[in-house]
Amino acid sequence: MQQWTDDRIADAAPDDRSLVAGRKLGIPGPWTETGVSDTLLWGKCQGSGKTPYQVSIDLTAPAYRCTCPSRKFPCKHALGLLLLWSAGGIGSGGETADFAHEWAQKRAERQAPAAAPEAEISEAQKQQAQQRIAARTTKMDNGVADFCLWLSDVARAGLAETRRRDRSWWDGAAARLVDAQLPGLAERVRDIGGDLHRGLSDEELLHRVGSWWMLARAWQRRQELAAPEVAELRIALGWPVPTADVRQGEAIEGDWLICGAHRAPFGRLMQQRTWIRNVESGELSFTLETAGPGESLGVPQLAGSRMRAELALYPGTAPRRVLFPDAVEWGDPGASFGEGSTIAQMVATASARMASAPWRDRHPAVLTAVRLMPGTPPGIVDAEGTAVPVTDDTDTRRMLALTGGRPADVFGEWEGGRMRLLSLVVAEEVVSL
**Tens of pLDDT, residues 399-425:** 999 999 999 999 999 998 899 999 999
Which of 34-43, 151-160, 272-281, 324-333 has the least mean pLDDT?
Answer: 324-333
Question: pLDDT at position 399, please?
Answer: 93
Of residues 329 and 406, which shows the higher confidence score?
Answer: 406
- Whether residue 246 lies inside any domain: the answer is no
| One domain for residues 320 and 348 | no
Domain boundary among 50, 78, 111: 111
Question: pLDDT at position 118, please?
Answer: 45
Please state, as a whole number, how many other Cβ atoms lie within 10 Å of the Cβ of residue 311: 25
Interval 47-104: pLDDT, tens: 877 889 999 998 877 788 888 877 777 889 999 999 999 888 887 766 788 888 888 8
- Angle between helix 183-197 and helix 167-179 axes, rounded to 10 deg: 170
- Whether residue 332 lies inside any domain: the answer is no
- Whether residue 12 lies inside any domain: the answer is yes
Q: Which domain holds residue 282?
A: 256-296+304-327
| One domain for residues 169 and 83 | no
- Whether residue 1 lies inside any domain: the answer is no
pLDDT band for 132, please (50, 70, 90 cuts): confident
> Is pLDDT of 21 > 50?
yes
- Whether residue 143 lies inside any domain: the answer is yes
Domain count, the chain: 4
| One domain for residues 139 and 60 | no
- Whether residue 165 lies inside any domain: the answer is yes
| One domain for residues 94 and 133 | no
Burial class (CB in 10 A: 0-12, 13-18, 19+), 164: exposed
DSSP three-state, residue 329: strand
Mean pLDDT for all residues in the chain: 86
| One domain for residues 263 and 322 | yes
* CB neighbour list of residue 91: distance below 8 Å, 6 or more residues apart: 35, 36
| One domain for residues 48 and 102 | yes
| One domain for residues 139 and 88 | no
> Is pLDDT of 110 > 70?
no
| One domain for residues 21 and 86 | yes
How is 96-134 classified by DSSP, letter by letter? PPHHHHHHHHHHHHHHSPPPHHHHHHHHHHHHHHHHHHH
| One domain for residues 225 and 194 | yes
- Whether residue 248 lies inside any domain: the answer is no
| One domain for residues 361 and 428 | yes
- Dmax over Cα atoms in the chain, in whole Å? 80
| One domain for residues 220 and 266 | no
- Whether residue 245 lies inside any domain: the answer is no
